[in-house]
Chain A
């Protein structure tokens, strides 16, 4: 025989269940930031090393495409093991579904445009960093997580450094590494600790 609920018990149960799902930062929530951050850091290091070995051959920059390759693969694998999808997940997913293709297509478009208007290629690091940083800040605002809002905002400011570092490829790679650390890796580690504490 199923236990029937009265109206008071029903109301209490609804409140309790909704409260249960409210703070849904499951363990490992920051892993996605860490994996994208680490892949950016590694790509910057690899590009820097390749530039050094090849005496500045610009083709070394194709190695940047390892970031979306690695990031998208690991994101797809993570998706399959997720226990719950919140409305916030859907919102952040929509943002990154919009941003990711832009960041992949933008360097290709600018390289092509460089044939017609020289100097376009120099804009790639700045625009990429700016777009991703804005995405990170907005994500931080949506999930209401202060370290990501701060990291993303600092990253937006840092993107202007790319304009200063045009013509300094090694410093630029170093700048990208620091940017990945501040905007993704540190907030990701903090988010994991926070989720662990609140689990």
Chain B
């Protein structure tokens, strides 16, 4: 039987953000924006959703006068990504 896909990760931007955070220790907002090609507003909304689901942690600080948002994946986020990846794999193994 095919596994169902986690709806939180079936959108391009959220999956993109989680994929990036799976391969690095931490990334700031501008890095994620650059790599995903998303607009600031959209990225901000999707980051909030991932943070609310506890898939990522968001650390806000200031460097001089500039705000800085640093994102990290959590253990829950890692588990969700692995589960999502396994589910995708099951579609191809069929």
Chain A residues within CB distance 8 Å of chain B: 2-5, 7, 9-11, 13-14, 17-18, 20-22, 24, 80-87, 89-90
Residues 19 to 34 of chain B near chain A (Cβ within 8 Å): 19-20, 22-28, 30-31, 34
B11 with A21: CB separation less than 8 A: no
Asked if A13 and B15 sit within 8 Å, CB to CB, the answer is yes
Query: Is A21 a contact of B23 with CB atoms below 8 Å?
Result: yes
| Cβ–Cβ contact A5 & B12, under 8 A | yes
Q: How far is the CB of B34 from chain A (nearest CB, A)?
A: 8
Cβ B12 vs Cβ A3 within 8 A: yes
A13 and B19 contacting across the interface, CB-CB below 8 Å: yes
Complex Cα gap A171–B39 (Å): 58
Chain B interface residue count, CB cutoff 8 Å, equals: 29
Inter-chain contact total with CB atoms closer than 8 Å: 73
A168 to chain B, nearest CB (A): 45
Q: In the bound complex, do residue A11 and residue B16 qualify as a contact, i.e. CB atoms below 8 Å apart?
A: no
- Across the interface, do A20 and B20 meet the contact criterion of CB distance under 8 Å? yes
Whole-angstrom distance between the Cβ of B83 and the nearest chain A Cβ: 13
User: In chain B, what residue has the closest Cβ to A82?
Assistant: B28
Does residue B10 face the partner (Cβ distance < 8 Å to A)?
yes
CB-defined interface of B1-22 with A at 8 Å, one 1/0 digit per residue?
0000100011110011001101
Contacts of B31 in A (CB 8 A): 83-84
Tell me which of B20, B85, B87, B91 contacts A21 (CB under 8 A): B20
Knowing A80-B63, A85-B26 are in contact, say whether A17-B20 is a contact too (CB < 8 A).
yes
- Contact A7-B24, Cβ < 8 Å, known A14-B19, A17-B16: no
Bound Cα distance A87, B10 (Å): 26
CA distance A13 to B30 in the complex (A): 19
A85 touches B19 (CB 8 A): no
8 examples of A-B residue contacts, CB within 8 angstroms: A5-B11, A5-B15, A7-B92, A13-B15, A14-B85, A17-B19, A20-B20, A83-B28
Known: A21-B35, A85-B24, A87-B24. A4 touches B15 (CB 8 A): no
Q: Given A10-B88, A83-B30, check contact A18 B23 (CB 8 Å).
A: yes
> Which residues of A are found within 8 Å of B5, using beta-carbon distances?
7, 10
Residues of A within 8 A of B10 (CB): 4-5, 10
**Complex contacts, B88 vs chain A, CB 8 Å:** 7, 10-11
> In the docked arrangement, what's the CA distance between A7 and B28, Å?
28
A2, chain B: closest CB distance, angstroms: 5
A9 and B13 CA atoms in complex are apart in Å by 12
User: Beyond the given A5-B12, A10-B9, A83-B31, could you list 11 further A-B residue pairs with CB under 8 A, ordered by the A residue number?
Assistant: A4-B10, A5-B11, A7-B88, A9-B12, A17-B20, A18-B19, A18-B22, A20-B35, A81-B63, A83-B34, A89-B25
